[in-house]
Structure 1
Amino acid sequence: MTASVSAATVVSVNLDRGHHFSKNVVPEVVLVEGLGIEGDAHAGATVQHLSRKRWHKDEPNLRQVHLIHRELFDELAEEGYSVEAGNLGENVTTEGIDLLGLPRGTVLHLGDEAAVEITGLRNPCIQIDRFQQGLLKAVVRTDDDGSVERRTGVMSVVVAGGTVRAGDSVRVELPAEPHEPLRTV
């Protein structure tokens, strides 16, 4: 089943060859099935994030491609923060789609060829506060009942390779029901 999302687009693509917090905006990225983004430090079939690699090096890499919705930047600006595409380490910045509201297993078709399958929520860390003091608390909220809302995007794996550029469309393909909510990966 394909969900109807009007005018969902890629607004930026970003990569970094090193393990830095922010990624550089680039004209295009090449997604490689089962690996991630060609030339990005987090590409690989097994865990590549330095904080996890030491203990989980042989586990599958469920964090090959990180996506954030651009609308988060507007929300953060209202709270006094200045965040732009790539600043929070995302590979793909989208617009017009509620990434956090999608179920696990959703496939996002990026442009004409590439597709990623959402594996879960990004679990933000203290590096966000090193980028801008207080930002971690702004993107991870705890309600009075103790439930935690993480707003720093979703993680995914590449299920179809291809080139992705700013301006490409995003098409949503929901998994079969029952839908499984997103959890951190």
Structure 2
Amino acid sequence: MKLLSLNLGRPKPVEYTDQAEGVTGIDKRPVEGPVRVSAPGAKGTGGSGLAGDAVCDKRHHGGDDQAVYAYAREDLDAWERALGRTLPCGVFGENLTTEGVDVTGAKIGERWRVGSDLVLEVTTGRIPCRTFQGHLGEKGWVRRFTRDGASGAYLRVIEPGEIRAGDPIEVVHRPDHEVTVSLVFRAVTTERELLPRVLAAGDALHPEELRAAREHVAKYGSRSGPRDEG
């Protein structure tokens, strides 16, 4: 398991974002590194966990619980075949393009050591947005990406450190629950009846998803609730 590509974004003016300044950092490009990774601060004020990486829309991106975004090269390869086009590392806006890591199958609270010092913890999956669709230029992309379910993973920084392309990735902790990134992604998008199950991940879960699950259970108990909600 390794960090195949380390990717950073710069602010870029585009027409497809609803961000007030009309700029986005989603177009991330590979760098060799080293790059310092640390907790950026609370969502809304803190940006990316990677030094030199732009987060332009802090309403929905960045902050301690979304400090780093990882996507598997294997999933990018599958999308290349499905879309019939080349997808370079970083094109999904991921900071870390991994090789040999089951990113979407990772458990919430799972911890990865990247390189010698950096330790990251999995918090949730990535919800696709209008900017992502505009960047890819694929009609109906939000719906298609959601239906596929290979969301990639957001991670928080547990121990800061420097990383570079090619660094090894090691899973140093795997919780004993069964709440994966894939399960959480489905629960908050297309299968809200799964929300009670994600509570088993506890406080390791991204606070927004944890709150959604608790509100669902408070309203419906452990049953699914109306399938047309959300």
Q: Same fold (TM over 0.5)?
A: yes
Distance 1:170 1:17 in 2: 25
Higher fraction of strand: 1
**1:32-83 residue CA offsets vs partner (Å, 9 max, x unmatched):** 24551112224xxxxx743437xxx9xx631110000001121011111321
The yes-or-no answer on 1:27 pairing with 2:32 is yes
My pick for the range that moved more, 127-136 or 100-109, is 127-136
Task: Quote the sequence identity (%).
Answer: 26
Query: Which residue does 1:115 correspond to in 2?
Result: 119
**1:119-162 residue CA offsets vs partner (Å, 9 max, x unmatched):** 11011112232123144444221xxxxxxx53131001111111
Gaps spanning 5+ residues in structure 2: where? Answer: 12-23, 42-48, 186-205, 207-230
Matching residue within 3, 7, 23 for 1:10: 3
The yes-or-no answer on 1:140 pairing with 2:168 is no
The yes-or-no answer on 1:75 pairing with 2:78 is yes
Are the counterparts in 2 of residues 34 and 159 from structure 1 also a CA contact under 8 Å?
A: no
Matching residue within 52, 64, 87 for 2:60: 52
Query: Which residue does 1:85 correspond to in 2?
Result: 89
Distance 2:68 2:156 in 1: 6
- Moved runs in structure 1, 4+ residues, more than 4 A? none
Distance 1:163 1:103 in 2: 24
Q: Secondary structure at the match of 1:25?
A: strand
Letter of the aligned partner of 2:32 in structure 1? P
The yes-or-no answer on 1:101 pairing with 2:100 is no
**1:6-44 residue CA offsets vs partner (Å, 9 max, x unmatched):** xx01110011243322112111121124551112224xx
Query: Which residue does 2:192 correspond to in 1?
Result: none
Higher fraction of helix: 2
> RMSD across aligned C-alpha pairs, in angstroms?
2.3
Matching residue within 14, 38, 44 for 2:51: 38
**How far apart are 1:175 and its partner, in Å?**
3.5
Q: 1:74 to 1:93 in 2, by over 3 A?
A: same
Say which structure, 1 or 2, has more relative contact order (CA 8 Å, 6+ apart).
1
Distance 2:144 2:115 in 1: 31
Distance 1:163 1:73 in 2: 25
